[in-house]
Amino acid sequence: MNNVAQRSNSGLNAVQKSAGLKKFFILGIILTSSLFVSNLYAQKDGKPFSFGFGIEGGPILDKNFKSTFSSEFGMSLRFSVKAGPGYVTFTPGGLLVIPKSVDEEDIKVGTHVPLKLGYKYIIADKFFVMAEGGYSFYTIYTVDESEDAAGDVVKDRDGGFTYAPSVGLNLGKFELGLRYETTILKKYTDVKPALLALRIGFNF
């Protein structure tokens, strides 16, 4: 009986040791994986160049411009080069300028093409502040209702200096930003298209 009990205790001890080794092994795998993932993301954050695209849009704020138009919506590309604690950026884009009503107004639609250089300053790894400046091209498409024109579409172009401060959050490959963007037009000086835009970006 004593021999049987000793064998049982030995078997139990062996099982307990085996379970302990398995727990230690699993814990080691988890820690190693965590370190690997952390290093992987650190390398991504520190890479010298990145490229991405984003979907963006928001309401128009300028009182003269928003009397006819309601909002803008479109896409943008972003090229980023590491410089100091942040990134130098170049962001071209294309947005539709959406009218409040097509039925009551002759204006059908507008386009907004911004070209901006900026600097994105990283705060505490995830948060950032950004300042951009550049040039924007606006084109407004209207319908000529005169008898001679017979409903021809007329293009009215203007452009000017654009500046856009923004704040945002980096979430791995994803980026969430909120900006205030204003353009000082050359021809229509009484109109300063201002936009409060949300941008959801994806970085490679």
Distance separating alpha carbons of residues 118 and 91, to the nearest angstrom: 8
Q: Which residues have C-beta within 8 Å of that of residue 177, sequence separation ≥ 6?
A: 54, 128, 130, 166, 167, 168, 169, 198, 199, 201
Q: Is 25 helix (H, G, I), strand (E, B) or coil?
A: helix
Strand partners, 150: none
What's the pLDDT at 189?
A: 86
What's the pLDDT at 174?
A: 92
Average pLDDT of the residues in 99-105? 69
Please give the structure tokens belonging to residue 98.
Answer: 């959406």
> Is 98:69 a contact under the CB 8 Å cutoff?
yes
The predicted model scores a pTM of: 0.73
What's the pLDDT at 144?
A: 72
Please give the structure tokens belonging to residue 167.
Answer: 């704040």
Distance separating alpha carbons of residues 97 and 70, to the nearest angstrom: 8
Q: Is beta strand 86-99 parallel, antiparallel or unpaired with respect to 69-83?
A: antiparallel
> Is 180:195 a contact under the CB 8 Å cutoff?
yes
Percent with pLDDT over 90 in the chain: 52
Please give the structure tokens belonging to residue 132.
Answer: 């951009």
Distance separating alpha carbons of residues 74 and 88, to the nearest angstrom: 22
